[in-house]
Amino acid sequence: MEKRAYKERIIYQIYPLSFKDSNNDGYGDLKGIIQKLDYLKELGVGMIWLSPIYNSPMKDNGYDISDYYKINPLFGTMEDFDTLLEETKKRDIKIVMDLVVNHTSDQHPWFQEALKNKDSKYRDYYYFRKGNGKKPPNNWNSAFSGYCWEKVPNEDNMYYLHLFTKEQPDLNYHNEEVIKEVENILKFYLDKGVAGFRCDVISQIYKTSLENGKFSLFSRGREHYENQEGAFKILERFRREVLDKYDDVFLVGETSSLTPKIGQEFIDRRALDMFFEFDHAFCKSFKLVPIFKKPVYKAKLLFKPIFKWQKEVSWIGAYLENHDQLRSVSRFGDEKKFFKESAKALSLFLLSLKGTIFIYQGQEIGTLNYKNLTYEETDDCMAKNATETAMKMLHVSKRRAFKWVNDTVNRDHARAPFQWDDSINGGFNEGHQTWIKINDNYKNINVKNEVNDKNSILNFYKKMIHFRNHSDTLKYGSFEEIKSNSYVAKFLRRTNDETLLIVANLSNKQIKDKKLDETKEILVSNYDKHENKVLKPFEAIIYKIK
Ligand code: NOJ
């Protein structure tokens, strides 16, 4: 298999708003990230993916960009970004940018110009269309609830398309100039030395037609814009015209409505180097049924879908958390009885998978969902919209609707300020009110406590990352599932030289396994002592097969 930096290095995702606030204004910033680079180096991270840091009115926390060539003043300046690049380079860490080009912000000068002047060339940068009688141009709905067409002010029966919030108008990839604009953005940051891009909702950029979508409660229209041939062709062009001119750079796609066949096609055509699948991440989300009961996350909901992708595609971005998901220990672990064990089991499981491993900030210390968050304290636009939609559709109270949203999709669980220590605001800053509340468990769960505890989750992550960084078998070996039960994830990673067996009990039950431990040497495990042929709750082991 071809050796590439993106295949070997652990990628750590930073959500800049919440990582470290260096100037005590309540928002994380680039200088804060620079202050913590040694922490990341020590952890063993080889690349950092930065969620968007560009100019933005922050309606969707930076996923609404108003200037691709400027740094959001909340985060700092272009000079700070250049310093970050230098400082990461010194530490042999690479930077991956977030490329958000399905849409811009409605405050982007292109869109502003398009609104002001019907004859401007920027009209065709977006989708402006006449309504269908009194209705919008088609029946599609937005990923953030409601229709995805917004009326243009002061124009008769004119709408524009937005697959996300109305402040995020979609770009029109039938327009050659739009494609060139994106190529220029890519070049600008590649010239600065970034290693690649995480491409936001990239599977949706090309709208083949604007026909009505077939019936679906929440995702009407997708068949017209998900994974279209046009998107493949544009990405192939980016590769040919831009990426291939740089050394060892890559694209990871945020892709939805995917099958392994389509995912593999992205890779085979070099449209993307890898992609994220969402089967495990969304296992209990966006389903109205659970509104009357708390979702129960079982081990197999996590590892079965992951195994499907591991088996069927040649490479993948493997992850448990990101800025859009609930915290993994809160869903798939056991926060109360087996907090440490379950966080470590999830760490061993993730860091043994095939593909590029992504760790989301705070995951390495076992950060939990922020359960006591109220609707009023929630910042996430999607969580708020989903609450309102549920209230309308199901005629339930706001309290009940929000409870469901909080249990299943509130993205703020992952966005609360990072818990560095037990001082005010968890050491995120020096006491200024933070942009969203910090989780009130920060006095117990924080980096400072965990650095000093040799049995901490953080130290286990370090150990696992170190192990993977030195294991060609975990980096490049094949993946083979071993049939087990619905509690235990079992698989082999194999090269010509070595075979590793990974066994992770992802449940709070003790499991007996007669076949365990026969002529196998334990290389890593999350319990001090292992009892022959028994897996304790959340016990996870990497064996070397002799
Ligand atoms: C996916 C991003 O991860 C999410 O945070 C954002 O809201 C949408 N794309 C829209 O850009």
Taking only the tens place, the pLDDT of each residue in 382-395 is 999 999 988 998 89
Give the burial string for 450-462 (b: 16+ CB within 10 Å, else e): bbeeeebbbbbbb
**Distance from Cα 248 to the centre of ligand 1, integer Å:** 26
The pLDDT assigned to 285 comes to 74
Q: Whose Cα sits closest to atom 8 in ligand 1?
A: 63
- Which amino acid is located at 161 in the chain? L
Give 432-474 as a DSSP string. SPPSSPPPTTTTTSSHHHHHT-TTSHHHHHHHHHHHHHT-HHH
Ligand 1, from 324, 360, 379, 412: best to mutate by most atoms within 8 Å of Cβ? Answer: 324
- Please determine, for residue 68, whether its predicted confidence score (pLDDT) is greater than 80: yes
**Distance from Cα 164 to the centre of ligand 1, integer Å:** 8
Report the C-alpha gap between 123 and 172 in whole angstroms: 10
Report the C-alpha gap between 15 and 10 in whole angstroms: 16
Please report, to the nearest 10 degrees, the dihedral formed by the alpha carbons of residues 284, 286, 288, 290 taken in order.
Answer: 20
- CB-based contact 491:308 (threshold 8 Å): no
List pocket residues of ligand 1, CB cut-off 6 Å.
60, 63, 100, 164, 200-201, 254, 323-324
Report the C-alpha gap between 76 and 28 in whole angstroms: 10
Pairing status of strand 511-512 against strand 488-494: unpaired
- Which amino acid is located at 535 in the chain? L
- Which amino acid is located at 406 in the chain? N
Give backbone dihedrals phi and psi of 323, rounded to 5 degrees, phi first: -75, -5
Q: What is the pLDDT of residues 243-260, one digit of tens each?
A: 999 999 999 999 999 999
Half-sphere exposure at residue 67, Cβ-oriented, CA atoms within 13 angstroms = 9
Give 187-219 as a DSSP string. HHHHHTT--EEEETTGGGS--S--PPPPS-SS-
Residue 369 structure tokens = 């969902």
Mean pLDDT of 409-413: 95
Half-sphere exposure at residue 462, Cβ-oriented, CA atoms within 13 angstroms = 16
Residue 452 structure tokens = 């000093």
Q: What is the DSSP letter of 322?
A: -
Note the residue count of the chain.
546
Residue 395 structure tokens = 């005629």
Q: Which residues are catalytic, by number?
A: 200, 254
Ligand 1, from 104, 200, 384: best to mutate by most atoms within 8 Å of Cβ? Answer: 200
Number of H helices, E strands in the chain: 16, 20
Mean pLDDT of 490-500: 98
H runs (alpha helix) in 58-193: 78-90, 109-116, 176-191
**Distance from Cα 321 to the centre of ligand 1, integer Å:** 14
**Distance from Cα 64 to the centre of ligand 1, integer Å:** 9
Q: Whose Cα sits closest to atom 2 in ligand 1?
A: 200
Report the C-alpha gap between 232 and 275 in whole angstroms: 13
Q: What is the pLDDT of residues 300-336, one digit of tens each?
A: 999 999 999 999 999 999 999 999 999 999 999 999 9
Q: What is the pLDDT of residues 499-545, one digit of tens each?
A: 999 999 999 999 999 989 888 999 999 999 999 999 999 999 999 99
Contacts of 81 (CB under 8 A, 6+ apart): 30, 53, 71, 192
Which residue in this structure is represented by tokens 């129960």?
Answer: 296
- CB-based contact 38:32 (threshold 8 Å): no
**Distance from Cα 497 to the centre of ligand 1, integer Å:** 41
Pairing status of strand 499-505 against strand 488-494: antiparallel
The pLDDT assigned to 291 comes to 66
Report the C-alpha gap between 466 and 10 in whole angstroms: 10
The pLDDT assigned to 343 comes to 98
- CB-based contact 105:64 (threshold 8 Å): yes
Mean pLDDT of 357-369: 98
Classified as helix, coil or strand, 158 is: strand
Report the C-alpha gap between 384 and 144 in whole angstroms: 9
- Please determine, for residue 144, whether its predicted confidence score (pLDDT) is greater than 90: no
Q: Whose Cα sits closest to atom 11 in ligand 1?
A: 63
pLDDT tier at 145 (50, 70, 90 boundaries)?
confident
pLDDT tier at 288 (50, 70, 90 boundaries)?
low
Mean pLDDT of 93-111: 98
- CB-based contact 332:302 (threshold 8 Å): yes
**Distance from Cα 101 to the centre of ligand 1, integer Å:** 11
Atom of ligand 1 nearest to the CA of 411: 5
Average pLDDT of the chain? 96
Report the C-alpha gap between 32 and 46 in whole angstroms: 18
The pLDDT assigned to 160 comes to 98
- CB-based contact 144:219 (threshold 8 Å): no
Atom of ligand 1 nearest to the CA of 100: 11
Contacts of 83 (CB under 8 A, 6+ apart): 30, 34
Within 10 angstroms of residue 113's Cβ, the number of other Cβ atoms is 14
The pLDDT assigned to 390 comes to 87
pTM of the full predicted structure? 0.97
Q: Whose Cα sits closest to atom 3 in ligand 1?
A: 324
Element (H, E) at 49: strand 47-50
pLDDT tier at 1 (50, 70, 90 boundaries)?
confident
pLDDT tier at 287 (50, 70, 90 boundaries)?
low
Q: What is the pLDDT of residues 467-484, one digit of tens each?
A: 999 999 999 999 999 999
More confident residue, 215 or 228: 228
Classified as helix, coil or strand, 373 is: coil
- Please determine, for residue 27, whether its predicted confidence score (pLDDT) is greater than 90: yes
The pLDDT assigned to 290 comes to 60
Half-sphere exposure at residue 68, Cβ-oriented, CA atoms within 13 angstroms = 18
- Please determine, for residue 100, whether its predicted confidence score (pLDDT) is greater than 90: yes
**Distance from Cα 63 to the centre of ligand 1, integer Å:** 6
Which residue in this structure is represented by tokens 């141009």?
Answer: 137
Ligand 1, from 65, 163, 164: best to mutate by most atoms within 8 Å of Cβ? Answer: 164
Which residue in this structure is represented by tokens 């993994």?
Answer: 328
- Which amino acid is located at 56 in the chain? S
Within 10 angstroms of residue 399's Cβ, the number of other Cβ atoms is 12
pLDDT tier at 296 (50, 70, 90 boundaries)?
confident
Pairing status of strand 158-161 against strand 149-151: antiparallel
Element (H, E) at 499: strand 499-505
Report the C-alpha gap between 351 and 1 in whole angstroms: 19
Q: Whose Cα sits closest to atom 5 in ligand 1?
A: 324
Q: Whose Cα sits closest to atom 10 in ligand 1?
A: 63
- CB-based contact 416:15 (threshold 8 Å): no
